[in-house]
Amino acid sequence: MSSISRRHLMTAAAGLAAATAAPRTVFAQAAAPAPAATAAATGPFTLPPLTYPVNAFEPHIDAKTMEIHHGKHHAAYVANMNTFAKDNPQLATTPVTDVLGNLGNVPEAIRTGVRNNLGGHANHTMFWQIMGPKGGKPEGDVLAAIDRDLGGLEKFQTDFNAAGGRQFGSGWVFVIVDKSGKLSIETRPNQDSPLMDGKRALIGNDVWEHAYYLNYQNRRPDYLKAWWNTVNWAKVSERYAAAKAGTLGV
Ligand code: MN
Q: What is the CATH number of the domain that holds 213?
A: 3.55.40.20
Q: What is the dihedral of CA 206, 173, 108, 80, to 10 degrees?
A: -10
Provide the pLDDT for residue 42: 81
What is the domain extent for residue 66? 36-42+62-129
Q: Which domain-ending residue is among 129, 161, 180?
A: 129
Q: Are residues 72 and 102 in the same domain?
A: yes
Specify whether the CB–CB gap between 26 and 95 falls below 8 A: yes
201 part of a folded domain: yes
The rounded Å distance from CA 204 to ligand 1 centre is: 11
pLDDT of residue 6: 42
CATH number at residue 96: 1.10.287.990
> Within this chain, do residues 153 and 231 fall inside the same structural domain, yes or no?
yes
Does residue 106 form part of some domain? yes
Contact 113, 76 (CB under 8 A): no
For residue 145, report the distance from its CA to the centre of ligand 1, in Å: 27
Listed residues 96, 129, 162: the one ending a domain: 129
Ligand 1 centroid to residue 32 C-alpha, Å: 25
What pLDDT was estimated at residue 244?
97
Domain shared by 113 and 201, yes or no: no
- Cβ burial, residue 8 (10 Å; 0-12/13-18/19+): buried
Does 144 share its domain with 178? yes
Classify residue 20: in a domain, yes or no. no
CA torsion 107-113-115-119 (nearest 10°) is: -140
- How many Å from the N-terminal Cα to the C-terminal Cα in the chain? 16
Distance 149 CA to ligand 1 centre (A): 27
Residue 222: inside a domain:
yes
117 and 169, same structural domain? Answer: no
Who contacts 96 (Cβ-Cβ below 8 Å, separation ≥6)? 27, 28, 29, 118, 121, 122, 195, 249, 250
Phi, psi of 151 (to 5 degrees): 80, 20
- Measure 21 CA to ligand 1 centroid, in angstroms: 33
Pairing of strands 200-206, 183-189: unpaired
What's the pLDDT at 33? 40
Task: Mark which of 97, 129, 161 sits at the end of a domain.
Answer: 129
CA 127 – ligand 1 centroid, Å: 9
Query: What pLDDT, on a 0 to 100 scale, did the predictor assign at position 8?
Result: 44
Write out residues in the chain with pLDDT < 50, as ranges. Answer: 1-39
In the reported structure, the alpha carbon of residue 54 is separated from the centroid of ligand 1 by a whole-number distance in angstroms of 15
Q: What total of structural domains would you count in the chain?
A: 2
99 and 119: one domain?
yes
Q: Which DSSP string do the residues of 52-63 spell out, in sequence order?
A: S-TTTTTTTS-H
pLDDT score, position 41:
52
pTM greater than 0.75 (yes/no) = yes
